[in-house]
Amino acid sequence: MKRRIISGIIIAALALLLAVSAGCSKPDRFSMNSARPDSNVMYESPYYAASSSPSGSASMSTAGGAMVPYGEEWRYVPMEDTEEYLTASESPFKDTRTSPLSTFSADVDTASYSNMRRLIKQGLAPVGVRIEELVNYFDYSYPAPLPDDDDPFSVIAEVSECPWAPDHLLAMIGVQGAKLQNSNDIANNIVFLIDVSGSMNEPNRLPLVKQSMKLLLEQLGENDIILIVSYAGSDKIVADSVSGSDGSKLARMIDNLSAGGSTAGARGIRTAYDLASKNFIKGGNNRIILATDGDFNVGISSVADLTKLIESERDRGIFISVLGFGMGNLKDDMMKSIASNGNGNYAYIDTLQEAKKVLVDEFDSTMFVIAKDVKLQVEFNPATVEAYRLIGYDTRRLENEDFNNDLKDAGDIGAGHNVTVFYELVPAGAAETEGPGSVSVDPLKYSAQITTNSDDFMTVKIRYKAPDGDDSILMEQVVGCDAIYEEISENFMFASAVAEFGLIVTDSYYKANSSLSAIINRAGDGMGDDVYGLRAEFLDLVRAYRDIID
């Protein structure tokens, strides 16, 4: 019996071999062209022209489970998705009686929004979305602190009906950073750390990096020191301590960069920190600009090990800006971790227009830190709030004890940056027995629950350090019942629409009655001045997303 099975296998194998040799040959080269939502990747076959199949007729082949005509130019071949994102489970509703404190790190990163835009424009459903980065992509121009104010922030708050859950309230907290009077007076010590490994050899990678870096060069001058380090299998110092006024020389050096080889990113990072330390300007802006797709594959290459490296370097007083490029093998988790743990910020550059936004229009916000290790802690009043839920900031949550711990790292805020936070609130007396807003905690046996007569909603506390400081400073603001508005601001309308869109694209358990039509209507009503057309672009993305899922 065993011999018959083996003989049958051999005969079948011979038959298959004869069929293959008599029919079409296996292609030996493919060039990737574009991706599709079903995780297959479209390739061009060098073996078959668009006009004919090997037999001269439109025969069919199976690729990735789909029947594709040989007579057509393209065919589908399955490809494993190698993009990796940093996400975390979303916050649930918390019972205010037992958990009145909500603590998290500030976050001004915007990479998730521009990456979402890239995916939607490709006809793909977004992945790896962090809602706070969608909301904070936009400038809301909250009232800024005055030059003689003690703290570098102002805080505003609005509370109104929750658009996607009418029985709930939605609270918006806006933190506005102070603007610089004249950033030209601040000397810059900047290291351009540029990934030139083989994975950067695509039009939307190294060529776009070069264009972006030259935009940044145009903002620099004679008081600035520029260094350029490239890295692939090893690192190379391309420019050492060149004046920012010699922009044409630096631009030529950038233009001469070419891609190839493996990615020893950790070695390049160490070199960049060493060079930045060598030219350290006391009272100046000491910063590394890392341009990469995050795909480190030589030396230290895991997120955990790279985080340890960054943590060991950040105390030098050198900040880092991470600019992500490319697609297909994008390592968002790596880049987010570098920025989060290295006193930095993170943006994804999908177009030259995005590079202009980050490096020109928002130059002061990107380059100059006004406060580091910024933490927020919100205390809710159980007399007015039954339960609450923080929307977004899932990768930035902290333990309540971390708020007063000055050794705990947190996010940094640049000049003129604003941070927007949304909480969905269940009003006191409106406890739900089922559904996403329900919370059920037994009464405490050993602790008395005492509620004051205050009608405040919450108290917002912020801890921050000066850019060169080690001790945190506390500021706080009470959000009273007068924060409820029947006529909400344009900022509230637009920002809440962006947050609602985040609930939909992440398929949040708490999306309730969220709808794309409601988002379009509310965002349209909250357009404001829209100087750069970014809010109008958001509306276009919502409509494009609707076309993808319909």
Q: How high is the pLDDT of residue 434?
A: 64
The tokens of 314 are what? 């950040």
Tens of pLDDT, residue by residue over 509-548, are: 999 999 999 999 999 999 999 999 999 999 999 999 999 9
Domain co-membership, 318 together with 275: yes
The pair of structure tokens assigned to 230 is 């490239």
Range of the domain at 59: 20-78
State whether the Cα torsion 61-67-71-72 is positive or negative.
negative
Please compute, for residue 539, the number of CA atoms within 13 A of its CA located in the half-sphere on the CB side. 15
Residues 198 and 322 in one domain: yes
The percent helix, strand, coil of the chain (3-state, each to 5) is 30, 25, 45
CATH of the domain at 189: 3.40.50.410
- The answer as to whether 457 is a domain residue is yes
- Are 162 and 170 in contact by the 8 Å Cβ rule? The answer is yes
Which pLDDT score, from 0 to 100, does residue 400 have? 98
Question: Count of alpha carbons within 13 Å of 118, Cβ hemisphere only?
Answer: 25
DSSP 199: G
Do 422 and 349 lie in a common domain?
A: no
CA-based nearest residue to 102, from 508, 376, 495, 351: 376
What pLDDT is stored for residue 298 in this prediction?
60
Give the pTM: 0.83
Is the separation of the CB atoms in 67 and 313 below 8 Å?
no
Q: Are residues 228 and 173 in the same domain?
A: no
123 inside domain: yes
- Residue 269 near residue 290 (C-beta atoms within 8 A): yes
pLDDT at 303: 80
User: From CA 356, how far away is CA 362, in angstroms rounded?
Assistant: 8
Distance spanning both ends of the chain, measured CA to CA: 55
Question: Which two three-digit tokens encode residue 316?
Answer: 């030098």
Torsion of CA 105, 367, 317, 462, to 10 degrees: -30
The residue with tokens 């990107």 is 366
Q: How far apart are CA 320 and CA 310, in angstroms?
A: 10
Per-residue model confidence (pLDDT) at position 149: 93
Count CB neighbours of 447 within 10 A.
8
Q: How far is the C-alpha of 147 from the C-alpha of 129, rounded, in Å?
A: 36
Residues 236 and 165 in one domain: no
264 and 200 co-located in one domain: yes
Q: What per-residue confidence (pLDDT) applies to 163?
A: 97
Residues 414 and 392 in one domain: yes
325, 347, 366 - which closes a domain? 366
- Give phi and psi for 197, each to the nearest 5: -70, 170
In a domain, 88, yes or no: no
If you count them, how many residues does the chain have? 550
Predicted pLDDT of residue 79: 36
- Of the candidates 109, 174, 107, 180, the one whose C-alpha atom is nearest the C-alpha of residue 142 is 174
Same domain, 191 and 312: yes
24 and 147 assigned to the same domain:
no
Provide the Cα torsion 228, 230, 234, 235; round to 10°.
Answer: 10
Q: Are 169 and 388 in contact (CB under 8 A)?
A: no
Q: For residue 425, which of 163, 245, 162 has the smallest C-alpha distance?
A: 162
Strand pairing report for 385-391 and 473-479: unpaired
Task: Output the six-digit token pair for 4.
Answer: 């018959």
Rounded to whole angstroms, the Cα distance separating 257 from 414 reads 30
pLDDT under 70: residue ranges of the chain = 1-81, 297-301, 431-435, 437
Residues 392 and 356 in one domain: no
Boundary residue ending a domain (366, 393, 423): 366
Q: How confident is the model at residue 440, as a pLDDT?
A: 72
Structural domains in the chain (count) = 3
Residue 487: which CATH number? 2.60.40.1230
